[in-house]
């Protein structure tokens, strides 16, 4: 057998082995290197995404033409690339500058300061062009002024409040302050406007205030504005009352929605923690105004004006001790109307009535059903149950039906014999219509037996059209049935409170 003769001495053999080890180590390092995954550009911002992490960046600027150069150490890219820019960024180029360095170049239309930041453990590198703050105004909006700041380039703003003395602060990151900036004069509760270059990358604007205020930041064309808002300064229980302190507009009435009483504080902001206790559940939501939600089963809420704000006093519900008869329409051999999906009116009427009974009892009412199961009752029997119980309130629950399946909406009937029955029907109708966008078919007069022959204040409500496929699906939904029951209970309580 022939043996190859490589012609290497032992000294050369050692050198070859060392080279092979070095080559393998380089191959392993190459396999484990960080790769360029994606580059995106928008106005004033370039984002570089990498696979892996721990990247080291070096950056500098060049002129003629103007460009920003970012070197990414230990990063490899498969092929050179070019993407269009936006704003001051004309285009972005990237390529393998050296075996271990990927270079990203931002070609600029004009000179600009810039900031480089590494996030997500170095997996993302952001290059952000600097902006300049060059105009500050106070707009005489109502009920409170608005701070408007304009600049060259996108403005990235955050705000916070300080007290003792009262101030609102707006910081503009990645920004510099323009020279010869003219500051606005005092306006309303804003005693003075101050500004400074807080650090090398942040412009700070400070509003000195004569009262505690908050602000909502909004992006506007060519800048940012801070819409001033009143603050809820105190929210606490005291002696069974809920005290709410604010120098802003205060609610004069409340609106019931799905068992919750909502109070609107116009042009107000709150970040206070909601206090617990007193058997009352509080919630809130922030929109243009601040809304406080109060769930207080069995209690009605009285709003009391006081120095510095309002107090909420909780009194027994207007339903407490009131005798109510709830009448689920149809039953037994009389199924009522039947929808296209096969749902029967008698079943839906009973389900809604059972929810209504539950909520009325929560509010302290004494409640009786004309039927508690699937059996037939004549109209005379239903009225006899109501009259025999000494009921003050009678509510009959029905679903509407019509040959035209497009018909929809809510309507509630009353009898003209009682002047108060119209107001009663209107209060219930209002609550039912508030549940969803639908046709308000109004509270209307009806010469119906269960209304005409009843000694109680009586209404009959058609909560939706079972002949309409969309409304039939709603009526068959237990969650919606519960909402309908709650809305009717709220309507009865609202009527009794104003009776």
> Which positions are annotated as active-site residues?
462
Whether the CB-CB separation of 307 and 244 falls below 8 Å is answered with: no
Whether the CB-CB separation of 36 and 111 falls below 8 Å is answered with: no
Q: How far is the C-alpha of 384 from the C-alpha of 487, rounded, in Å?
A: 26
Burial 229-252 (b: 16+ CB within 10 A, else e): bbbbbebeeeeebbbbbbbbebbe
Look at the block and give the residue holding tokens 């009412």: 365
Task: Give 154's Cβ-side CA count (13 Å radius).
Answer: 13
Q: How far is the C-alpha of 305 from the C-alpha of 171, rounded, in Å?
A: 38
Q: How far is CA 450 from CA 11, 418, 457, 459, in A?
A: 115, 14, 11, 8
The verdict on whether omega for the bond into residue 143 sits within 30 degrees of 0, i.e. cis, is: yes
Judged by phi (left if over 0) then psi (alpha if -120 to 50, else beta), residue 258 lies in left
Name residues whose C-beta falls within 8 Å of residue 343's C-beta, 6 or more positions apart in sequence: 466, 472, 475, 476
Q: What are the φ and ψ backbone dihedral angles of 139, each rounded to 5 degrees?
A: -95, 135
Q: How far is the C-alpha of 376 from the C-alpha of 165, rounded, in Å?
A: 73
Q: How far is the C-alpha of 290 from the C-alpha of 489, rounded, in Å?
A: 26
Name residues whose C-beta falls within 8 Å of residue 499's C-beta, 6 or more positions apart in sequence: 318, 420, 423
Q: What are the φ and ψ backbone dihedral angles of 375, each rounded to 5 degrees?
A: -145, 165
């Amino acid at each position: 057998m022939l043996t190859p003769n490589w012609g290497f001495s032992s000294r050369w053999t050692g050198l070859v082995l060392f080279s092979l080890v070095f080559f393998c180590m380089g191959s392993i390092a190459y396999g484990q290197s960080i790769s360029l995954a994606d580059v995106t550009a928008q106005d004033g911002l370039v984002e570089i995404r990498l696979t892996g992490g721990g990247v080291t960046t070096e950056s500098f600027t060049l002129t003629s033409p103007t460009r920003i150069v970012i070197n990414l150490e230990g990063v490899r890219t498969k092929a050179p690339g070019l993407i269009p820019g936006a704003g001051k960024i004309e285009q972005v180029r990237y390529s393998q500058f050296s075996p271990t360095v990927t270079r990203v170049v931002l070609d600029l239309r004009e000179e600009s300061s810039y900031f480089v930041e590494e996030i997500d453990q170095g997996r993302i590198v952001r290059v952000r062009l600097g902006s300049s703050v060059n105009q500050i105004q106070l707009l005489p909006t109502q009920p409170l002024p608005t701070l408007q700041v304009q600049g060259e380039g996108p403005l990235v703003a955050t705000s916070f409040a300080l007290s003792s003395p009262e101030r609102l602060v707006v910081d503009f990151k990645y920004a510099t302050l323009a020279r010869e900036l003219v500051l606005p004069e005092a306006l309303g509760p804003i005693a003075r406007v101050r500004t400074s270059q807080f650090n090398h990358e942040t412009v700070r604007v400070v509003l000195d205030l004569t009262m505690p205020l908050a602000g909502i930041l909004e992006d506007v064309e060519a800048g940012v504005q801070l819409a001033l808002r009143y603050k809820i300064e105190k929210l606490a229980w005291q002696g069974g009352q809920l005290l709410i302190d604010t120098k802003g507009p205060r609610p004069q009435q409340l609106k019931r929605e799905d068992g919750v009483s909502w109070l609107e504080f116009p042009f107000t902001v709150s970040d206070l923690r909601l206090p617990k206790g007193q058997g009352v559940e509080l919630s809130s939501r922030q929109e243009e105004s601040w809304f406080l939600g109060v769930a207080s089963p069995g209690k009605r809420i009285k709003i009391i004006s006081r120095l510095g704000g309002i107090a909420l006093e909780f009194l027994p519900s207007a339903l407490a001790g009131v005798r109510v008869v709830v009448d689920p329409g149809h039953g037994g051999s009389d199924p009522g109307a039947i929808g296209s999906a096969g749902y029967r009116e008698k079943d839906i009427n009973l389900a809604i009535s059972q929810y209504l009974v539950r909520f009325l009892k929560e509010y302290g009412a004494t409640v009786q059903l004309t039927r508690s199961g699937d059996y037939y009752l004549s109209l005379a029997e239903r009225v006899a149950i109501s009259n025999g119980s000494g009921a003050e309130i009678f509510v009959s629950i029905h679903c509407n039906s019509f040959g035209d399946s497009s018909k929809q909406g809510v309507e509630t009937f009353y009898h003209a014999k009682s002047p108060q029955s119209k107001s009663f029907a209107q209060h219930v109708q209002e609550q039912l219509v508030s549940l969803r966008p639908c046709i308000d078919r109004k509270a209307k007069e009806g010469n119906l037996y269960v209304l005409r022959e009843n000694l109680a204040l009586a209404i009959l409500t058609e909560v939706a059209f079972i002949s309409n496929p969309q409304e039939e699906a709603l009526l068959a939904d237990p969650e919606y049935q519960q909402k309908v029951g709650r809305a009717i209970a709220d309507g009865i309580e609202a009527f009794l409170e104003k009776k």
